[in-house]
Amino acid sequence: MNYDFDWSGIIPALPYLAEGMKTTLLLVVVALVLGFALGCMLAVVRLYGPKSLAKLAAEYVNFFRAIPLILTIFWMFLLMPFVLRKLTGDPYLTVGPLYAAIIALVLAESAYFCEIVRAGISSVKSGQMAAGKALGMSTLQCLRWVVLPQALRNMSPSLVNQVVGLLKDTSLVYVISLNDFFGAAGQMGLRNGQLVEFYLFAAAVYLAICSAGVALANYLQKKNQQAY
């Protein structure tokens, strides 16, 4: 069966698609900043915290890495309002799709960032920590001024790859009707009867952005290898 492609609806829809891209970038930036911060704390707890807290952090990481992200998004959107209503007694309390998506992405991504940071810290020679402590630094000071700067360089390719994955993961928020770039493309495709064209256009945009991210990760990896 032949299909006649009609791309005429793409240009007029660009402003609406741009609004969807703003939402996608907002999700990426917030999930990156908060997820990385939480991931750093989890990694430090797993490496240097008390055994009970380290075990709890490990269970958190294993849990969110083991379940599909789409389920986490559903839980935050459908179950979290129910829990909050029980806790607050407010029968009308709700959580919007934007906040539900942000919370779900932060929780899930922090688990992956934790493992990246943990591997980065472990890649730094233990003598660096010992040298810092010999100078009178505390463990946290050694991490802040000695270990983490070196670890960040080592884990930079993995961080970029994870951000690329995060960008792709944001497309799952369509299941809670959040108007991200992928969702906007789908809506315009349905409205114009050009669903195939709009999905192909969205795929091309994702491909371009993610390819640039992968190229950056490869460059950083080669640069790190040359440094050693």
Copy the structure tokens of residue 119.
């591997």
Per-residue model confidence as pLDDT tens digits over 154-170:
899 999 999 999 999 99
Alpha-carbon dihedral angle through residues 38, 81, 22, 179, given to the nearest 10 degrees: 140
**Which pLDDT value is given to residue 20?**
96
- Which is nearest to 117 in space by CA: 56, 47, 166? 47
**Statement: residue 17 has pLDDT above 60:** yes
CATH code for 14-227? 1.10.3720.10
Per-residue model confidence as pLDDT tens digits over 177-213:
899 999 999 999 999 999 999 999 999 999 999 999 9
Spell out the domain ranges in the chain: 14-227
Contact at 8 Å (CB) between 171 and 180?
yes
Copy the structure tokens of residue 155.
């884990």
